[in-house]
Structure 1
């Protein structure tokens, strides 16, 4: 889901290249539109977020996800990179955190931004959540640069 048409076209082209280079992978669908107006499909769904919007919209998105989990058979994963508002997903009774790690950038990516790593946190619908043995999965998400950067607490 991408609200900006130009960025949606770039994402669609990236998805096309991935499909061409790795045809065995499940397809990536990019939709141009407002994430809060989009009807979440049933079945298996991965929602990928890179600190997309502020607290109010993240709260509304979570409400949409929770509604989809209540009303239909769904298996949902939320992959949130730089989860500035990850505490909102942590508060949900319908989702369980299954992964939390700071992932270093590839050396070729260093210098394109101010950081050298990003926090990656994954939640899954609570009814399907596997047992995880990650030591950092329960560490608190801390906002280190208000609205811009998230890290795991020590």
Structure 2
């Protein structure tokens, strides 16, 4: 899916709900300026950072990755060009609050461009309703052969959105 984004130089990859860091590891294969992950579970963040050290030793040419124990709703989005990765980390109430937070950062200019990549997009309707985002890709991505067998599925639904011109007026109301 990340290959669908095009040139990501100058962008920061943020995995919200990063767990052990697998999507972050994949993101290091692309020329992001930074690869960051956030999760409430400090134990999982420790595993993600251990995995980051392994990746850095095996692939010193890649962008380093780092995970932090933090609440996604309290993040300061200071990276001008941002790719936010979500593997269905929240229900609609928290996802709506995260989207409000991202929209506010876009409106205030702390985020210049935003891409959202959402796997297992249960709350896609929230992003589709945003006046600040436009859906730009959706599909069903097959798992790599070595990943088949860990669950019942052989492919995963994915949707991505990109930021569009800032709307006038209130943008925070959700359907």
TM-score normalised by structure 1 residue count: 0.74
Could you tell me how far 1:26 is from its partner in structure 2? 4.0
Aligned to 2:102, which of 62, 65, 73?
A: 65
Could you tell me which of 138, 142, 148 is aligned with 1:100?
Answer: 138
Q: 1:47 aligns with which of 74, 84, 92?
A: 84
Matched, 1:8 2:45: yes
Q: Give the number of equivalent residue pairs.
A: 128
CA distance in 1, matches of 2:80, 2:103: 14
- In 2: Cα distance, 1:95 partner to 1:22 partner: 34
**Alignment check: 8 A CA contact 1:42 1:68 kept:** no
Unaligned runs of 5+ in 1: 129-154
Per-residue CA deviation, residues 13-45 of structure 1 (Å, 9 max, x unaligned), is 333444444445444342211101111123111
**CA 1:21–1:41 in 2, change beyond 3 Å: closer, same or farther?**
farther
Where in structure 2 are there 5+ consecutive unaligned residues?
A: 1-37, 167-175
TM-score (norm 2): 0.66
RMSD: 2.0
> Structure 2: how far apart are the matches of 1:16 and 1:49?
23
Q: What is the rounded CA distance, in whole Å, between the counterparts of 1:119 and 1:16 in structure 2?
A: 30
Tell me whether 1:85 sits opposite 2:118 in the alignment.
no
Change (3 A) 1:16 1:94: farther
* Structure 2 partner of 1:75: 113
1:12 touches 1:30 (CA, 8 Å); kept in 2?
yes
Cα gap change, 1:76/1:7 in structure 2, threshold over 3 Å: closer, same or farther? same
Task: Provide the rounded CA distance (Å) in 2 between the counterparts of 1:18 and 1:44.
Answer: 24
Could you tell me which of 149, 159, 162 is aligned with 1:124?
A: 162
Query: Is residue 98–residue 122 contact of structure 1 (8 Å, CA) maintained in 2?
Result: yes
Q: Residue 86 of structure 2: SS of its match in structure 1?
A: strand
